[in-house]
Structure 1
Amino acid sequence: MVNRQPLIAGNWKLNGSRSSVVALAKAVAAGVTSPVVEVLICPTSVHLADVLGVVGNSPVHLGAQNCSDAISGAFTGEVSAEMLVEFGCEYVILGHSERRAMFHEDSALVAAKCLTVQKAGLTPILCVGETLEQREAGQVEEVIAGQLDALLDAGGVDSFRQLVVAYEPVWAIGTGKTASPEEAQAVHALIRERISSHDAAIGEALRVLYGGSVKADNAASLFSQADIDGGLIGGAALDAASFLAICEAAASTVGSSAA
């Protein structure tokens, strides 16, 4: 069995001022003590330089919330993968449900972005997930498979070597609702099986995060599941104490997940 290092990624979304993000980054960097958990924070693009100045020499990794599929050119308002590399980013969140819903990004575009950022040496965090309507209609497997297959078709299973998948049930994002540990585990297992059917080693090594209203009081029960390798944290990531408690919960479950 592959030993997958837990990853706790904070998605700060469209929040913060220069002073507040620096303070938050300092608090997170000062509180990260366990080497068994990888900790990542993703501020807005305009705050990357300020946050890099804080975490550049710390154990905390830096990521971006989005990226263009274009390398350069007449794409007003876009940010390229190469630009993110210059600002110390290692990861990029792609295909978040908010991008898919509000900005009409389809799975083909998300797949193209994944391949572009990988060429720049960055690791995509590919977000997948179903709406409440799709879950109630029994379409969870169909929806998740379609989102994964877009990248499999575009880049083959090798594109999942340098990649993290985040399962975010859309109905549980920012609502306070959370999939039960068993419900989340079932979808995480589905994701791993989908990739493993193409390459068992890649599927086993793939880190799959849960991203649906993770909080300090439910983190340990989620992270103790066999196929949940950490979390993509939204609201709780804006409070250093809550975020660090989630990181500690992840550390406490290392080696204790069900086989």
Structure 2
Amino acid sequence: MTRQFFVGGNFKMNPITRKDKLALVKVLNDAELDPAVEVVVSPPALYLIPLAESIRKDIKIAAQNCYFKDSGAFTGEISPAQLVDAQIPYVILGHSERRTLFHETSEEVAQKTSAALAKGLSIILCIGETLHEREAGETGKVCQSQLKAVVDVLKKAIGGDSSYPKIVIAYEPVWAIGTGKVATPQQAQEAHADIRSFLSKAVSSAVADSTRIIYGGSVNGGNCKELSTLPDVDGFLVGGASLKPEFVQIVNSKKQ
């Protein structure tokens, strides 16, 4: 099955100023981007609506997080319903920084995923192991456990398997995020193939074949081309490099 290549840019808590944001938007608006690639960028919440209004229409916008309630006394949170109302189509959930720094459990990520899907949002669902877990040979076990929480929730949700086309799975080894260390092509392919195998057994072979599994972890202009050729790598979730002109090179990695 041919899966559309996907490149996401996670700006995290950047850019710092509006001037920085405008400069970044200009680079993206002026760039020649591969039209075959789905491109999604994720700014801080403060910039979601201004970015959606100023960036070219073939680039989609994602929130970096959301809560599982539609409204209420939840200071500092954004609801799926609010994102839909603001015409923000995507949300990143389960990012390692949310799991490690803010102690979100896989069950909480699954609850958020179900709530976001119920409102019609598309999800960039992040999973991945720490360095300790990698060295202990637990990569597959960790990724499967994080995914199983979502699979179990969706089995009970309205829509069930029909929700999976709206989920992009981002494999992000925690030890490679922001460190300059990158999983070798062999490590990335093995992890992605294992995730696809798990989906085939836990959900269905059709879902496994059609679900996009992207890689994140110090992706840059220098390593994107080789990674993009791997059979089970369907794109990237880019951190720091998404704030630089080389993000365009990453988006275009399949046609270089």
- State the TM bucket, normalised to the shorter chain: over 0.9
State the shift of 1:74 in Å.
1.1
Matching residue within 148, 160, 171 for 2:175: 171
Distance in 2 (CA, whole Å) between partners of 1:113 and 1:18 is 30
Q: TM-score, normalised on structure 2?
A: 0.94
- What SS does structure 2 have at the residue aligned with 1:216? coil
Do the aligned partners of 1:222 and 1:228 also contact (CA within 8 Å) in 2? yes
Give the aligned residue type for 1:61.
K
Do the aligned partners of 1:223 and 1:250 also contact (CA within 8 Å) in 2? yes
Distance in 1 (CA, whole Å) between partners of 2:127 and 2:249 is 25
Match of 1:256 in 2: none
Matching residue within 189, 208, 214 for 2:213: 208
Distance in 1 (CA, whole Å) between partners of 2:27 and 2:11 is 14
Distance in 1 (CA, whole Å) between partners of 2:2 and 2:177 is 28
Give the aligned residue type for 1:181.
P
Do the aligned partners of 1:32 and 1:60 also contact (CA within 8 Å) in 2? no
Do the aligned partners of 1:130 and 1:144 also contact (CA within 8 Å) in 2? yes
Distance in 2 (CA, whole Å) between partners of 1:214 and 1:165 is 16
Q: Find out whether 1:195 has 2:194 as its counterpart.
A: no
Distance in 2 (CA, whole Å) between partners of 1:42 and 1:251 is 24
Give the aligned residue type for 1:245.
Q
Match of 1:62 in 2: 61
Q: TM-score, normalised on structure 1?
A: 0.93
Q: What CA RMSD, in Å, does the superposition of the two structures yield over aligned residues? A: 1.2
Give the aligned residue type for 1:226.
P
Match of 1:92 in 2: 91
Q: Find out whether 1:243 has 2:213 as its counterpart.
A: no
Give a deviation string over 1:24-70, Cα, whole Å, max 9, x none: 12311221432111111100111012101212x52111111001111
Match of 2:100 in 1: 101
State the shift of 1:22 in Å.
2.5
Do the aligned partners of 2:33 and 2:251 also contact (CA within 8 Å) in 1? no
- What SS does structure 1 have at the residue aligned with 2:149? helix
Distance in 2 (CA, whole Å) between partners of 1:202 and 1:155 is 13
Distance in 2 (CA, whole Å) between partners of 1:75 and 1:227 is 39
Do the aligned partners of 2:62 and 2:88 also contact (CA within 8 Å) in 1? yes
Distance in 1 (CA, whole Å) between partners of 2:249 and 2:42 is 18
- What SS does structure 1 have at the residue aligned with 2:186? helix
State the shift of 1:180 in Å.
0.5
- What SS does structure 2 have at the residue aligned with 1:217? coil
- What SS does structure 2 have at the residue aligned with 1:49? helix
- What SS does structure 1 have at the residue aligned with 2:223? helix
- What SS does structure 2 have at the residue aligned with 1:179? coil
Distance in 1 (CA, whole Å) between partners of 2:215 and 2:85 is 29
Distance in 1 (CA, whole Å) between partners of 2:255 and 2:42 is 20
Q: Find out whether 1:228 has 2:233 as its counterpart.
A: yes
Do the aligned partners of 1:65 and 1:92 also contact (CA within 8 Å) in 2? yes
Do the aligned partners of 1:40 and 1:61 also contact (CA within 8 Å) in 2? yes
Do the aligned partners of 1:52 and 1:87 also contact (CA within 8 Å) in 2? no
Match of 2:40 in 1: 40
Distance in 1 (CA, whole Å) between partners of 2:22 and 2:121 is 23
State the shift of 1:161 in Å.
2.9
Q: Find out whether 1:217 has 2:222 as its counterpart.
A: yes
Give a deviation string over 1:144-196, Cα, whole Å, max 9, x none: 11001001111126142320100000000000000001100000001111111
Distance in 2 (CA, whole Å) between partners of 1:38 and 1:246 is 12
Do the aligned partners of 1:7 and 1:38 also contact (CA within 8 Å) in 2? yes
Distance in 2 (CA, whole Å) between partners of 1:183 and 1:250 is 20
* % identity of equivalent residues: 43
Give the aligned residue type for 1:95.
G
Distance in 1 (CA, whole Å) between partners of 2:14 and 2:21 is 8
